[in-house]
Amino acid sequence: MKTRITELLGIKYPFFLSGMSWISVPQMVAAVSNAGGLGILATGPLSSAQTRDAIREIRKLTDKPFGANASLIFPGAAENAKVLLEEKVPVINFALGKGDWIVKEAHKYGGKVIATVVNLRHAQRAQDYGSDAVIATGHEAAAHGEHVTSLVLVPHLAENLKVPVIAAGGFADGRGVAAALALGAEGVAMGTRLMVTKESPLHTNFKNLTLEKEVYDTIFTERFDGILCRIQKTEVSEKIVKRGLNWPAAFSNSKEIAKMVNAPYMKMFIGVLLSGWANAKQMAYMANAFPRLRATETGDTKKGVIPVGQAQGLIHDVPTVAELFERIVAETKQAQAKVTAALS
């Protein structure tokens, strides 16, 4: 497959691994890149030292292009982004913040930068300060999207931007890839589909649970981590959303987060307080979400909550990444042929 994004990044297929905390780890990143796509390391739960180690581990596992992300709203994200620049990561993906400084520094060594966006205003701003492409996150996506669906958001961005658009949200097979290309996208990012593969470190309990779920079994809410977020609908996630913010737990969990990212707790705590009430409340929600997300590592479906997209209902097996990509390519060609026949 050949699009502007495959040419820009030097990859075989325009398929991207979404940067999912505790899932998009070095082994998973390498599996996607080795299969012809672009693996993206999730740095959210990592300290700067762990980020550096992870990048070096990826380079031992693959000689293909790869990327790493930085969600700039999270504690320690700026420090991690600096490590990505120091290590000259080929592709840096940033979200939830202004990444102009990342673009400037990455371009000095020939790196490419992709901004994750949810609307045209953010996409145009990212393009204006030099981002090489954008990931358009539609309403169907896992985690942090907004209210416009991929069917509308992708062509809206594609007709208003000069840089390539990568579609995210609702993509799990070749039918979706063909649709994305027809809408003006140059590639697709997949999180939910790729987390249910053999190489994915997601616990088997959650892989099996995802296979059981339908497209209807998600919750889209601000009452999980403080930002509009799509999570899997389970008994525990419904209880969490109904309860809302748990301040005592947030204070306790924030200490663990500071330890995880190797940040002085009081400095982080005071910084959050000084950032204003709205941001402090949001950070408290994120602190509450942290142990729920991490519980997915142990397979604890009674306590763990996992972000998933509506595409979970389109997933019916657990292939290897390479098998999945080959199948998606074949399905995309079949979808193309079907459309061609209908138009002939």
pLDDT tens profile 302-317: 999 999 999 999 999 9
Q: Is 169 helix (H, G, I), strand (E, B) or coil?
A: coil
CA angle (156 as vertex; 154, 160 as ends), nearest 5: 115
16/249: higher pLDDT: 16
- Residue percentage of the chain with pLDDT more than 70: 90
- 295 falls in which pLDDT band (50, 70, 90)? confident
Domain boundaries, the chain: 4-202+315-343, 214-297
- Per-residue pLDDT at 261 exceeds 60: no
- Per-residue pLDDT at 189 exceeds 90: yes
| Topology, domain 4-202+315-343 | TIM Barrel (3.20.20)
- 83 falls in which pLDDT band (50, 70, 90)? very high
Q: What is the pLDDT of residue 146?
A: 94
- Per-residue pLDDT at 293 exceeds 70: yes
- 250 falls in which pLDDT band (50, 70, 90)? low
- Residue percentage of the chain with pLDDT more than 90: 77
CA angle (217 as vertex; 212, 219 as ends), nearest 5: 145
Q: What is the pLDDT of residues 64-77, one digit of tens each?
A: 999 999 988 877 89
Q: How many CA atoms lie within 13 A of 298 on its CB side?
A: 10
218: its two tokens: 């998600």
The mean-pLDDT minimum among 33-37, 44-48, 215-219 falls in: 44-48
Mean pLDDT, residues 239-243: 90
Q: What is the pLDDT of residue 201?
A: 96
Question: From the centroid of its chain, how far is CA 47?
Answer: 18
DSSP-derived secondary structure letter, 275: T
Question: From the centroid of its chain, how far is CA 88?
Answer: 21
CA separation, residue 74 to residues 79, 141, 195 (Å): 10, 20, 22
In one-letter notation, the amino acid at residue 152 is V
Mean pLDDT, residues 205-226: 95
Q: What is the pLDDT of residue 279?
A: 67
Q: What is the pLDDT of residues 88-119, one digit of tens each?
A: 999 999 998 899 999 999 999 999 999 999 99
Q: What is the pLDDT of residues 138-156, one digit of tens each?
A: 999 999 999 999 999 999 9
